[in-house]
Amino acid sequence: MSGDQYGGYQGYQGIAVPPMPTSPPPAPPDRLRSVAVGLLNLSGLGLGYALTRRWLLMAVCWVATVVLLLVALPADPDGVSGPLVVLYVVFLVFAAVHGALVGLRTRLAWPAPTALAIVLGLVLLAVPAGGVVLYDNARDEATQQMLLDRLEKADQLVADSGRLSFSAAEPHYRQALGVYDDLTTAHSGSRAADKVPDRLKTFYTTVAGAYSQKNYCDAIPQLKYLRTVPGTIGKKQLGTLTTWPDDRLATSLYECASASLATQSADWPTNFGDLLATFPQSSQAGQVEPAVKSAVTKAAQGVSGSEPCAAVERLQSLSTQIGSLQGEQAGVADALGADATRAGSQADAGAYQCGVSQYKSGDFDSALSTMNDFVKNNTHDKNRARAKKIAIAAEVAQTVPAAGKRLPTTASGGSISVTVKNDSPDDITVLYTGPVTGSFTLKACGSCTTYSLTTTLLSGFKPCSGGKNYPQKTISLPTGTTYFVHRPDSSTASPASDTAKLRSGYIYTECAYATGSFGTG
């Protein structure tokens, strides 16, 4: 060893240690492993990333799935919005493709054969598929519950409306009917639609509630409305309900009209007319004419009762009202026409009893009008002659009320001569009543004038004493009090009256003259 080398330092050269890898070294490409990772990521749980130790990416998959579940659950009929579903599907496809790329060169953390991972991936595909099926079922159930809720609300609306008047309830009935129609058409396979037929039965009985309570007049608009329901709900869904209102409406029309006819209300012809026009072949329509005939008979019987004028008015009204009815059944129109004619004839004949009643009650104006109409309308009636007498007496009693204390008879003539002269320039009608009643006319006195009131007040004033050829007529009257009225036919002067108490052995003269007001002497 040389001195140059002694004491020299030879440095130690260490061995270099490479750093520890942060992830497994790339593995040889493996397509089956790539498929396994991709399939495992399609489950939405990020299991492919878990087997390749990509924990953050796995967490992203979980977050995406949790967000979808929070939005989708609980299931409702509208489901998840389309854009969100598309976005989630795109995310799963991306995770599957990306996972496949990662798994192509990354060994699995789970030391199981790749084939087993593929099988597990295929099995886990049932998770999203099963989720879709379960969600669809939950959505269907939510839809069913929603439709059942709609049905229940419609049912409650019907029940609440049944406590209202029909006019107030009708809009609610239409609203409920619209729900029933929608359920049977747009959701025909739903549980709610299956319940609609039973609900419609309840609907019909509720709407026509007045009929079950025998409030027939109130039931008419309700039943007419129900006959329009087939225009909204199909006859297939309605079944026998299609014709359910018909017989009930016919009964209601008849019963309501009959009650109105009995109480003399004015609306019975409308209901009978609807019955005859709508259900001409029904048994109820066959009862219309007998009911009308009975009403005419009853009214005619009232003519001889305590209120003959009311009975006459009733008969006149019946004649007009019956004339407005028409029937389509054989013979109904003719029978109704005969009833109308009979009512009119009975009214004309009954006017006599009405006039007598008016006269006896002191209503001389009405008695005069009634008897004049009776005489004009009944040329062959047995009471026509007396009606003329009563009309004369009523006109006398208009001026001299005492003349109307006794109903005149058809008696005529007497033993006392009474001459009536006309000392006026007007034609006059002389009316008288008492033991006998009558009237006659006297022509005007051509040479006579109207006396001034001053002249009539002078002492010794005596009309019909000027030696003129006065128009005159002599009649024979019985003893007793006779009431005279001289009525000018052409002037506006008021009638004049005179009361004569006739006794045997005397000759009487009546003189009619004109002053500022018509007078007698």
Q: Determine the angle formed by the axes of helices 191-207 and 126-161, rounding to 10 degrees.
A: 0
DSSP H stretches of helix in 325-363:
332-360
Reference 439, options 489, 401, 405; nearest CA is 489
Stretch 471-480: mean pLDDT = 95
Q: State both tokens at 281.
A: 């072949």
User: What's the chain's length in residues?
Assistant: 521
More confident residue, 344 or 86: 344
Residue 390 has pLDDT above 60, yes or no: yes
Cα 43 from Cα 58, distance rounded (Å): 11
Residue at token pair 């002492």: 459
Does 50 or 289 have the greater pLDDT score? 289
pLDDT in tens, 198-242: 999 999 999 999 999 999 999 999 999 999 999 888 888 899 999
pLDDT in tens, 92-103: 776 667 766 666
CA–CA distance, 356 with 269 (Å, rounded to integer): 31
Candidates 496, 347, 510; CA nearest to 419 is 510
What is the average per-residue pLDDT within 329-345?
A: 87
User: pTM for the complete prediction?
Assistant: 0.69
237-291 per-position pLDDT tens digit = 899 999 999 999 999 999 999 999 998 888 899 999 999 999 999 999 999 999 9
CB 173 within 8 A of CB 214: no
Tell me: the pLDDT tens digits for 121-171?
Answer: 556 666 665 566 555 565 676 677 788 888 999 999 999 999 999 999 999
Contact assessment for residue 227 and residue 246, using Cβ atoms and an 8 Å cutoff: yes
What is the chain's mean pLDDT, rounded? 83
Phi, psi angles (nearest 5°) of residue 276: -65, -35
The more confidently predicted of residues 52 and 171 is: 171
Residues near 49 by Cβ (< 8 Å), separated by ≥ 6?
Answer: 37, 41, 55, 57, 58, 61, 95, 99, 102
Residue 55 CA to residue 46 CA, distance in Å, equals: 9
What torsion do the CA atoms of 199, 204, 209, 210 make, to the nearest 10 degrees?
A: 170
Question: What is the pLDDT, as a whole number, of residue 294?
Answer: 95
101: amino acid identity, one letter = L
Contacts of 193 (CB under 8 A, 6+ apart): 147, 183, 184, 187
pLDDT of 431 over the 80 cut: yes
pLDDT of the residue at 451: 86
Window from 258-267, 409-418, 455-464, 481-490 with minimum mean pLDDT: 455-464
Calculate the CA 116 to chain-centre distance: 78
Q: Rounded CA gap, 64 and 44, in Å? A: 8
CA distance 299 to 113: 111
Geometric angle at alpha carbon 175, from 169 and 176, rounded to 5°: 90
Show the DSSP H helices in 235-267 as ranges.
Answer: 235-238, 244-262
**Is 513:451 a contact under the CB 8 Å cutoff?**
yes
List 440's β-bridge partners, or say none. Answer: 430
